[in-house]
Amino acid sequence: MDNKTFGTLALQLLEGAQIPGAHVDTACAFKRQAEALARGEVDFAADETGADPRDVSEAG
């Protein structure tokens, strides 16, 4: 799942929306991740590989 999709779903969950077809475990996981993001514990700029696009240390 890309960051934009995650962010949209996370915001909906934080606002109390119900995601059709989502299992409770999935909704709880999204909520935990969104709360961690809000606390600054997750780098939302990282891509799906976990690499931070701002890190240019290995760029050639």
User: What residues does each domain of the chain span?
Assistant: 3-38
Percent of the chain with pLDDT over 70: 45
Query: Ramachandran region of residue 47, left (φ > 0), alpha (ψ -120 to 50) or beta?
Result: beta
| Residue 30 and residue 9 in contact, taking contact as beta carbons nearer than 8 Å | yes
| Residue 46 and residue 19 in contact, taking contact as beta carbons nearer than 8 Å | no
| Residue 5 banded pLDDT, cuts 50, 70, 90 | confident
What is the reported pLDDT for 3?
73
What is the reported pLDDT for 59?
47
| Alpha-carbon span 51 to 14, nearest angstrom | 26
pLDDT per residue over 25-47, tens digit each?
A: 777 777 787 787 777 776 555 55
What is the reported pLDDT for 37?
77
